[in-house]
Structure 1
């Protein structure tokens, strides 16, 4: 049976175009801001690591928020993370970054304009038949306003994928401070300024990635409605070609 999603969550034509184009090396994603003559090109897709999601429940959020970190330090209650309502099969999945480049000049100096345009968790290799916004477990679809895109925020321009079942252990290192200074924690440094933190007792991981001011979560679904990919975008790069 062919999957039919909720029209209130479906990606519009521009968002769908972006999601398809941003993971296609060699395609033009748009043009440099204020310079319509210089293209922003997708230069490649990089697998930064694999991550374990044994619970099948996924958090897509900032690994910490300033207010939450302060509450944690003071022993006050903290809010739950933004866990997706959708479930995926327990397993190990690759995390990939879409890189773009759009050279520009600033105060007489030239820059290559290399940037992370989107990050994805690739659940399967099945073709994507349609895109929809990924709701959190606490989101109410009936309260969505036309054009509204639910998103997570980030005080430090960092987002993460994490196994929800191990969230407390995985996120604690980001929230632990002594005398206002973050306590050093064990992590694996990855390409693209990413990090992986692991909880070996649960065989679960948290992987950080760049997310300017947070991001919108998109689900790429197959013809049968299965989730093939989960993508985070922080905004369009340049303007559509």
Structure 2
């Protein structure tokens, strides 16, 4: 929304959307589906989900959204815009003293183009946090395609267009959030080096919550 780097953009608030269960300590940070419907219909395996290399303690964590506001122009008219700039999984309440790129298990930082950051793609502008061990079950409602059409899915509706899928057998959850053009993943570490937050910024922004 704010393409001009000189545009003043401010964080107007941080909203807790829900909590989610990660019993395995392994996390998926990715789109809940990729867009190759033909592979789904043919039963062909799709790419594996993007899993950060870092592990977190098994537990229940808050999911929060950071909202920003700033002016923008559309067809010559000026507007005050509000959008979701970042989504945060809060691992602890300890202060973050350093940020680093959230590398995936298959990422090689040396192969990234100059200036590029680890990210996932999201053609439908949706990302998610999910327990990795329950990924097959949790992502299944987003992967039901018949004759080229997505089937309606039964999900828990949350504020701001987010959704939650629950696997009660494994006591694990998946929570979706807005991720325009995909998301850039960041790790926030405490003074002792522990991970306090995992943040996804929208592909069009470069701020951290």
TM-score over 0.5 (shorter chain): yes
For residues 59-138 of structure 1, the aligned pairs below 5 Å read 59-67=28-36, 69-107=37-75, 111-138=79-106
Deviation per CA, 1:38-96, whole angstroms, max 9, x where unpaired? 632211000000000000000000001112x4312211122210011100000000000
Structure 1, unaligned runs of 5 or more: 1-30
Report the Cα offset of residue 236 of structure 1: 5.8
Q: 2:201 aligns with which of 223, 233, 240?
A: 233
Match of 1:199 in 2: 167
Provide the secondary structure at the position in 1 that maps to 2:135: helix
Bigger Rg, which one: 1
Report the Cα offset of residue 105 of structure 1: 4.1
Deviation per CA, 1:147-173, whole angstroms, max 9, x where unpaired? 331211111111100000000001111
TM-score, normalised relative to structure 2: 0.90
Measured at CA, do residues 238 and 120 of structure 1 come closer, stay the same or move farther in structure 2, by a change above 3 Å? closer
Measured at CA, do residues 153 and 32 of structure 1 come closer, stay the same or move farther in structure 2, by a change above 3 Å? closer
Bigger mean CA offset, 140-149 vs 115-124: 140-149
Report the Cα offset of residue 110 of structure 1: 5.3
Contact 2:181 2:203 in 1 (8 A): no
Contact 2:70 2:82 in 1 (8 A): yes
Deviation per CA, 1:169-190, whole angstroms, max 9, x where unpaired? 0111101112222122211111
Contact 1:33 1:238 in 2 (8 A): no
Contact 2:182 2:203 in 1 (8 A): no
For residues 201-216 of structure 1, the aligned pairs below 5 Å read 201-216=169-184
Cα RMSD after superposing both structures: 2.2
Measured at CA, do residues 60 and 34 of structure 1 come closer, stay the same or move farther in structure 2, by a change above 3 Å? closer
Contact 1:131 1:220 in 2 (8 A): yes
Contact 2:88 2:199 in 1 (8 A): yes
Q: 2:157 aligns with which of 189, 204, 212?
A: 189
